[in-house]
A and B are shown apart, each in its own frame.
Chain A
Amino acid sequence: AQSVTQPDIHITVSEGASLELRCNYSYGATPYLFWYVQSPGQGLQLLLKYFSGDTLVQGIKGFEAEFKRSQSSFNLRKPSVHWSDAAEYFCAVGAWGGGNKLTFGTGTQLKVEL
């Protein structure tokens, strides 16, 4: 079975600074991967996804993520953080042939200092 680890529970960055949120997965074959964002009191909004092909994927709101098979990672990045990016971010992994069952990480809470 697949698993996901988001090592950072909380991260604080200054507005305008760069951001990297870590996601490590465990799965025996090539997974498919998502990043979702959840603002307070809201549901999960899809930021970006990786299914196959180019390992650097672009998402909404200026986010990107890079799939690194050798490191079993799918880290989320943004070159310049905005105060509105403060939210909780979830990485999720699915297994091809697994019937679209996603395994989610426990999330990283992002705080942005003005």
Chain B
Amino acid sequence: ETGVTQTPRHLVMGMTNKKSLKCEQHLGHNAMYWYKQSAKKPLELMFVYSLEERVENNSVPSRFSPECPNSSHLFLHLHTLQPEDSALYLCASSQDRGLSGNTIYFGEGSWLTVV
């Protein structure tokens, strides 16, 4: 138990569907992240939120839409995805995004399959 909980753990969706991934952290952290993990590729940082404000968007396609309603919750809204978007999506949090060296704690991930 890392203190970062992701749901659902597995999701299969069609290319025309709309779905959302949810992340909740119980660590009292101020920064939250979405990472994408594809086979044989390094983890890719997608989005960073600090105190509910998006501070980083690493050229992610608009079919991925993040939402951070408060410092404990982070969503990733998905629509009209492509099969190549199938991957493990990892949510993470850290005490503070602005202070380098903060340890990043990861959730267990949501396995997404786009058919």
- Number of A residues near B (Cβ < 8 Å) is 28
Query: Quick check: is B107 within 8 A (CB to CB) of the other chain?
Result: yes
Mark interface residues in A87-114 (1 if CB within 8 Å of B CB, else 0): 0001010111111111111110000000
B100–A43 touching, CB < 8 Å = no
Main SS class of interface, B: loop
Closest chain A residue to B9 by CB distance? A41
Interface stretch, picked from A13-21, A44-52, A62-70, is A44-52
> Which B60-75 residues have C-beta < 8 A from chain A?
none
Q: Give min CB distance, B72 to chain A, whole Å.
A: 18
A83 CB to nearest chain B CB (Å): 22
Contact of A90 among B6, B43, B45, B94 (CB under 8 A): B43
Residues of B within 8 A of A (CB): 2, 4, 6, 31, 40-43, 45, 48, 55-56, 90, 94, 96-109, 111
Given A51-B101, A100-B99, A104-B43, 17 more pairs with CB closer than 8 A:
A4-B42, A32-B100, A36-B106, A43-B4, A43-B107, A44-B90, A90-B43, A98-B100, A99-B55, A99-B98, A100-B48, A100-B96, A100-B100, A101-B48, A101-B56, A102-B43, A106-B40
Q: Taking beta carbons and an 8 Å cutoff, which residues of A are in contact with B?
A: 4, 32, 34, 36, 41-46, 49, 51, 90, 92, 94-107
